[in-house]
Chains A and B, each alone.
Chain A
């Protein structure tokens, strides 16, 4: 009896982990598949450099964790639908089970499932809710750092810039370098 309970909990933890992984994987995909073409922001659904942006994809994902958009062709390896899982797990002991806390780039995600009538009756996940809360590992969210815009003259071998036309090249620093180096 004890052993079978342990096995069931183990399986559930596994299922929760799968859900956790799936949920954490989905946010990057969801904006691609679901964002209306006209939508301008957020530019980067999975990005999260901005504080609000970090939290938004999670909220989106938590609203529709079971919806898998067929139009998205990437990372569908993680696809096993929850519905199937629920049926497979029939005969489980009633209760609430917490999955292992899983770290992803947004922070810690923990999945909780409720079992009743031998089936998973509810699955929920905790997400970092607002900005850089304590659940978010600050090192995981990389940002470009603001710097002073310099205007310098220096000895260089080449100049990188927005693509010059043949016409604008003539007045460019690279043209001056080319003259000097020819």
Chain B
């Protein structure tokens, strides 16, 4: 069964090919995503992130989830030479990590609750497990960066994540933390790998780097993260291990 939930400022599609426990699993997944939204949204003044940002709560008093997210953002900042920066916009905004992480957690919880086959697609960032509807791998299209109704790649995955960052959807919203200006050079970056939170963060960091991100992405293949990227002038690049269908 398929469920579509509007949450975290985007749309989350949940697909469970095995219907038996579907409704309960979907309800608990949505409850988790709304809980994350309430805690991490930078658009809600009463969210934990906003209260922490205003200094109303100390780090030690923050939830384990928030502390975990802050730790991982710090790790990613180091790992990406500062290009993944939860403070790129001036004040703390961990949204770039939270979405992927929360879906990664949701998928893990579904798995623990007995769902070995599912996918969650949070506004274009996907975590899937098990076999797809046909019994083979899930087929994941990567949106063409100029033609919204076309695909530039079709990928095949069973267990894993596909995350795409691009400038075509929300405009130049990714800031290059080194310049403080919108990132240029790459129009779309897709990263596949075992963990959606990391795949998403890597795609965002590479986009912020611009064309130099292509070289950076190439090194991530050794850690199981493959990539496909399109430059502003329409050149396409893929890593050798990209799971093309």
Chain A contact residues, CB within 8 Å of chain B = 31-32, 35, 37-50, 53, 73-74, 142-166, 168-169, 171-175, 177-178, 181-182
Contact = CB atoms under 8 A, between A and B. Distances in A.
Nearest to A50: B215
A50 B27 CA distance: 48
B144 interface: yes
Contacts of B3: 182
Contacts of A168: 169
A144 B221 CA distance: 10
Contact of A149 (B83, B222, B236): B236
Contact of A152 (B2, B151, B168): B151
Contacts of A147: 228, 236-238
A144 B6 CA distance: 35
Interface stretch (B41-49, B62-70, B106-114, B159-167): B159-167
Interface string B126-163: 10100011000011111111011111111100000011
A144 B229 contact: yes
A38 B218 CA distance: 25
Given A151-B152, A158-B119, A158-B126, A47 B212 contact: yes
B195 interface: no
B116 interface: no
Interface residues of B, number: 78
A40 B138 contact: no
Given A149-B230, A165-B169, A178-B4, A160 B215 contact: no
A47 B15 contact: no
B212 A41 contact: yes
A170 B215 CA distance: 35
Nearest to B11: A169
B238 A173 contact: no
A55 to B, nearest CB: 13
B129 to A, nearest CB: 13
A165 B211 CA distance: 26
B22 interface: no
B55 interface: no
Contacts of A43: 81, 83, 178, 209-213, 216
Given A144-B218, A149-B235, A157 B133 contact: yes
Q: Output the residue of A145, A147, A166, A168 with the most chain B CB within 10 A.
A: A147
A161 B138 CA distance: 16
B169 A164 contact: yes
Contact of B143 (A42, A162, A166, A178): A162
Contacts of A48: 215
Interface string B216-245: 111101100001111000111111100000
Contacts of A145: 237-240
A173 B178 CA distance: 34
B83 to A, nearest CB: 7
A35 B144 CA distance: 35
